[in-house]
Structure 1
Amino acid sequence: MSWLLENWFGSKESLDQVREDIHENLHKEIYLGVSGIENPEQSANRLPSKELFVSLHGPWDVLEEQEAELLRYIHDELPPVVRDEVGIFPFYTQVTQDGYLVLTYIRNATEKSVLLDTVPLNLVTPEGEVVARKNFEMMTFGPIGDQSSRPCEFLFRWDEFDNLPEKEIPLTLGYVRPVKKSGESAQAGGELEMDEIEYYRKKLAENPVQEGQVDLKALGLKEGENGGLKVVVLFRNGLDKRLEFTEVPIIVHDQSGEAIARVSYTLENMKVDAKDFRIIAFEIPASSILKEGVSVEECTVFIPKATQQKTENPVFDATKSKGFLQ
């Protein structure tokens, strides 16, 4: 993103000019509706953007300090965000050789970490014509911490456009709630390796979903990145209708039974079809671990209030002899 920032702001002589340019490029914020409010964009209950923590991950984490400060400055200039909502705020667009690039901030103004699944977005002309549609898979993007904000880029490639507009026509980012096709297979998301995915699929095939049972449970616990933990969670739906999961609370205990981590993730558009399942990995950051020097092999993980049929056999990770519950 360094070249983009330099191209955008390199010629500006003062912060006042930068501020003016920021507000000229701002688009309308998109709200995902996690608060349950029918029209969240109309809410007056808002949180100043400066009160959110700006977190830079992935390609945004390798920027020069001056560029990182510029990103934080852009963020602080954004309008207030609706409380208890997750918003996508486009702050810059660029026509590139590969496609139409939209730079955004995903702002989480809730009190829980949020993990997005599939986010369906489109590009709209000033006349209201939708010229491009694309589903962006966000599991690998990782969780967005409570009261925090992360920059994110969305690229619509030229071959993904339904209709190519003239380059000078400005396009606006739009959000539509997904309509999942019937018969679509279950997915495994997060940071699971292919061998892990296959392992869990085989084990679950030996323990098929129970008629009328809804299952939300922890399948595995492993060491995560940067001193964190990775929890593999099963979402299983034995009902005759599609089910949406909205929240995943996770507790990790050490060998003595003391809770060393308590986290809760809010999920957006996390649906499981009838008689189907999904397996997703959740990262617990090191900052959420309350006790140092605990071996993951001595820990157990569980989902509070989750229920399990006593007749169902437990599912274990063959690579670990401990670290599992249920």
Structure 2
Amino acid sequence: MLPFFRKKRDGKPKMEGNESTVSSEELLNETSDTEGREKQIDTDLSFHPDWDVSKEDQYSFQFLNMECPPLAPNQISLSGISLQHNEEQGSVQVTAFIRSSLNKTIKLHETTLVLLDSSEQVLGRKTMDLEEAGDIPPCSSRPWNMTFSEQELFTTDIPSEGWKLAFQLKPSSRKHSLDLQNSWEQSLAEKDKHELQNMVERLDPPKPGEVNFMGLKAVQKDNGDLHVTLLIRNGSEKNVTLEQIPLQVEDADGTTVAKGGFTMNDFGIKANTSKPWTFIFPSSMVQEGEIDLSSWKAYPIQKNTAH
């Protein structure tokens, strides 16, 4: 095995590669509860129990781990430490941190990794069993070596810096399904959950990569507030987080009857799912007088397109 680091003139180690990040839901079908957790999570250094690491290398790994940026909840990342050439074999050894922000232990499995240059061009591809990296503790960062053989590299022009190691995810084969926020999961009757799930499965799924809004119910209360329930549909293979949702509502006459912006708190829609949510327009945002809700539509203002 090659050394972990090349000696630098000033004696300080340096992260030679960049970082790539994926959702733990995409990679492992795993998430952890984000309630009460920090939005930015630092990872603690963790060595494989079979690794015999010198004090000098331990210091270097600790120094580099502190240089890594925090992760968001439910993320797995690969942070490039070093890339070293084995001239005799024509291979390269890539050392990277496998980082997890989940608050539970994880184990990786067989996966395909790609080696990319700074322009996202694929330099090499390798399928390997990362289960050998062992149990990765909660919110931790584990250094690991991955060797690309001459046959797994597509070029001999491999840069020593500015590269990136990334997971190559397979397209999801899951059916588009219902995703309920915890508050809805706890308060909604089982019958209503089943009806929603059946409706989501009957509908044509959103186009790949598309996020759209579908109206479910609109009711004006006695105090003048307008309650609009929408189905937010994520056709992407990635989880989506919405922070600001500016909405406009039109009634049966095509008249704009309500308009307003909603600030969402950690509001995510998982990959390939639809999530219902009720938006409440206070009476001050609602047009005075009679509103015909026999038919209506609501849509994000910036798109200016009905869904």
Give TM class, smaller chain: 0.3 to 0.5
Q: Which has the larger radius of gyration?
A: 2
Relative to its length, the structure with more helix (as a share) is 1
Normalising by structure 2, we get a TM-score of 0.45
